[in-house]
Chain A
Amino acid sequence: MLARRYVYVFIGLVILLVFVAFFGVPLLWLLLAPTKTDSQLAHESPFAFGSLTTFANTFHKVINYQGQLMLTWLKNSAIYSFGGTALALLAAIPAGYGLALTQFIGRRALLAITLVVMILPSTALVLPLFLEASEVHLVGSVWSVILPFAFFPFGVYLAYIYFSSTIPKDLLAAARIDGAGEWGVFRYVALPLARPIVGLVAFFAFVADWTNYYLPFVMTYTNTEYPVSIGLQILIGSAPIFSPGTPGSAASEIFRPDLAMATLIAILPIVIIFLFAQRTLVKGMLAGATKG
């Protein structure tokens, strides 16, 4: 009886460790690769540590690649993501409040539509959006990326659930009796209580925007417009190891450690957010699993 128990525990542990390796090893590898030169990478053990000097060199090379292209991409990503997130908040928080705590004709229908578009993968709308944007000559403008990012139905639903489950309607009634107008009720009663949900919506919006690939891929055309998610693909395309025959001198050639470094730089903001937002995030996700 007891022995069997230990066998189960052992098997469970082995499974867990296998998956820790599955999820962890690529990250570890990514961290180690830029410490090595391309030939070290190809010949030494994948887990060998090169040197910090190489790491620094790789970093500088990636940053300075073609006139600091990487920085331009990062800046673009930041513009798109911050802009999109800010607008998404501006739309989602009041909308969630309106759906939860005010009454108007079409409220339930709007809610149902919100749910449908929330489940509908955003990718499905990208090409239609492009077709529309090219019709109104918005392609190539920052707005062609930011405005679609601003449309974040998941955030609306999060805010809706938050407002409807945490704010008692009597509280709003009390504020109205105290003489607050509709805007005052929202501004001075609901909004101060909504801080956790603002953080959560911002988190999900930002991560989705930063990692988005397809939309900017379709909407932007030049290196000066690309976000870093596409920049990575550009780098692959100019790495001779993957694309032999690509023109380019040795100095400007992208090698594998450079690619790893670029990837590392590209994901760094999200990793940092994950680290700091872990608590809130897990809490938000946990809350997600209550009842339902």
Chain B
Amino acid sequence: MPGTTAVPPVRYPPVEGLRVEGRRRDRPPAGSSPVAGYLFVAFYVALLLCIGVAPAVYAIALALSTPGGVGFGHFVQTFNFFEFAPAFEHVFEFEGIWLASQTFFVVLLALLVHTLKRRVSSAFRFIFYLPGAMAGSASAIVWLFMFTPNTSPWAFILHGLGYQVLPNTVSPGNLPMIFAIMAFFTGAGGWIVIMYGALNNIPDELIEAAQIDGSSPLQTALRIKLPLIRKWVVYMLVLSFAAGSQLFVEPQILAVATNGEVPPQWSPNQLAYYLAFQQDNFNNAAAVSVDLLVIGLLVAVLLVWRGKLFSVD
């Protein structure tokens, strides 16, 4: 899966025997001294500055420093690379396929699993979730085999599509689809678990009320359950979009495995890497990184700012 194992914010039931009074958090206790607060967050803030902020600032500085002073020269230059536009096109095509299918199937599977008895459903959820262990290069390797007609358990499908050898399968037109399958394979399970949890949080009474109101299981799923988990679906979409834009491992492994059949600048992140390490042009690499950073930041800020998912007090 590109990026990290994304999991939504957690809200816990209160520790047994303790009650949290009033609204979740109105105001931190008055008794604490402000200095203590700084000490508790100090290490994290140091990391935030060194690992989060400083590289971003440095990358921006690098990207903006041109021989003729501060300017957008590197942005313009990278923009005009012949690999630049295709890389973004590739990733957006990949995202389109991945997000659409992930959204549809995760919701569908979560709804289906939710109709099962708890124990049965937990077995299903575990099977769906287990491939998460293969995030990164492992899943790319396994799928490499899955896409190789003469080793694949899915050979009948591949042959049906007319593919005889790996290069047939990983033809350029197929790549977005292939990466979408890989990303779905490792990432969907976690989201199914989350959606299942969200569904479980719908009070039984509500589902029973719908039943009594004459609603069939299908209608209940579509009209009651789905609207009630909608914000989680949105959350999944946004987070996946952000993660997907950073696609790197899967095309990288495929580039190695196909001996260049898959170009090593297939995704923007690969392009940035290529600029930094093959061309030794850190300024250009920084420019592409900043492009990607801006996409990620825009999405993140939008979600934090507009979404009502997070409690910031």
Cβ A124 vs Cβ B292 within 8 A:
yes
| A197 neighbours in B (Cβ, 8 Å) | 12
Chain A residues near B44 (CB-CB < 8 A): 91-92, 94-95, 156
- The reply to whether the CB of A120 lies closer than 8 angstroms to some CB of chain B is yes
Asked if B15 contacts A193 (CB within 8 A), the reply is yes
A253 to B273, CA, bound (A): 29
Pick the contact of B269 from A19, A94, A123, A165 — CB < 8 Å? A123
Q: Report the bound CA distance from A287 to B56 in whole Å.
A: 33
Whether the Cβ atoms of B48 and A120 lie closer than 8 Å is: no
Which residues from A are CB-within-8-Å of B292?
124
Q: Are A168 and B48 in contact (CB under 8 A)?
A: no
Q: Provided the pairs A24-B127, A186-B40 are in contact, do residues A101 and B28 lie with their beta carbons within 8 angstroms?
A: yes
State which of A51-59, A60-68, A262-270 sits at the interface with chain B: A262-270
- In contact, A284 and B141 (Cβ under 8 angstroms): no
CB within 8 Å for A101 and B32 given contacts A116-B300, A167-B18 = yes
B 237-253 contacts with A by CB, 8 A: 238-239, 242-243, 245-246, 248-249, 252-253
Flag whether A274 is at the interface (Cβ < 8 A).
yes
User: For the complex, is A154 an interface residue (Cβ under 8 Å from B)?
Assistant: yes
Q: Please give, as numbers and ranges, the residues of chain B lying within 8 Å of A12 by CB-CB distance.
A: 112, 115
Which B residues lie within 8 Å of A137 (CB)? Answer: none
B309 closest partner in A (C-beta) = A292
Task: Tell me if B303 counts as interface (CB < 8 A to partner A).
Answer: yes
Check A27 against B130 for contact (C-beta < 8 Å).
Answer: yes
**Contact string, B278-313, partner A, CB cutoff 8 A, digits 1/0?**
000010011001101100110111011000011111
A residues in contact with B245, CB < 8 Å: 121
**Which of B141, B289, B299 is within 8 Å of A232, CB to CB?**
B141
Q: Is the pair B304, A288 in contact by a Cβ cutoff of 8 Å?
A: no
Among B8, B10, B105, B256, find the residue whose CB has the most chain A CB atoms closer than 10 A. B10
Contact status of A214 and B269, CB under 8 A, knowing A186-B40, A208-B5: yes
Interface size on A, residues (CB 8 A): 127
Q: Interface of chain A, helix or strand or loop or mixed?
A: helix
The residues of B that contact A123 with a CB separation of less than 8 Å are: 2-4, 243, 246, 248, 269
Q: Number of contacting residues on B, CB 8 A?
A: 136
Nearest CB on B from A145, distance (A): 11
Q: How far is the CA of A91 from the CA of B51 in the complex (A)?
A: 13
Give A112 to B242 CA distance when docked, in angstroms. Answer: 18
Which residues on the B side are within 8 Å of A79 (C-beta)? Answer: none
CA of A134 to CA of B27, assembled, Å: 43
A233 at the interface (CB under 8 A from B): yes
Q: Please tell me which one of the listed residues A94, A158, A214, A291 contacts residue B41 in the complex, with CB atoms under 8 A apart.
A: A94
Chain A hits for B8, CB < 8 A = 288-289, 292
CB-CB under 8 A from B134, the residues of chain A are 211, 263, 267, 270
Q: Does A130 contact B (CB under 8 A)?
A: yes
How far is the CB of A19 from the nearest CB of chain B, in Å? 6
Residue ID in chain B nearest A171 by CB atoms: B18
Contact between chains at B153 and A164 (CB < 8 Å): no
Q: Which residue of A lies closest to B189 (CB)?
A: A23
Q: Give the CA-CA distance A23 to B39 in the complex, in Å.
A: 46
B10 to A200, Cβ gap below 8 A? yes
- Tell me whether A276 is interfacial, beta carbon within 8 Å: no
Tell me the complex Cα distance, A94–B38, Å.
Answer: 10
Q: Known: A168-B18, A173-B29. Is A286-B200 also a contact (CB below 8 A)?
A: yes
Give 30 pairs: A residue, B residue, CB < 8 Å, sorted on A. Answer: A20-B128, A23-B127, A26-B131, A92-B44, A94-B43, A95-B45, A100-B28, A102-B29, A103-B32, A115-B312, A116-B300, A122-B4, A127-B269, A131-B55, A131-B58, A132-B54, A164-B25, A165-B11, A213-B136, A214-B249, A229-B137, A233-B253, A236-B141, A236-B144, A237-B256, A259-B145, A284-B10, A285-B190, A289-B195, A290-B13
Given contacts A26-B142, A123-B269, A166-B13, 6 further A-B contacts (CB under 8 A): A94-B40, A101-B32, A121-B2, A132-B58, A196-B12, A289-B200
Chain A residues within CB distance 8 Å of chain B = 5, 8, 12, 15-16, 19-20, 22-30, 33, 41-42, 46-47, 90-92, 94-95, 97-105, 107-108, 110-125, 127-132, 135, 147-148, 150-151, 153-154, 156-158, 161-162, 164-173, 176, 182-183, 186, 193, 196-197, 200, 204, 207-208, 211-214, 217-218, 229-230, 232-233, 236-237, 242-244, 256, 259-260, 263, 266-267, 270-271, 274, 278, 282, 284-292
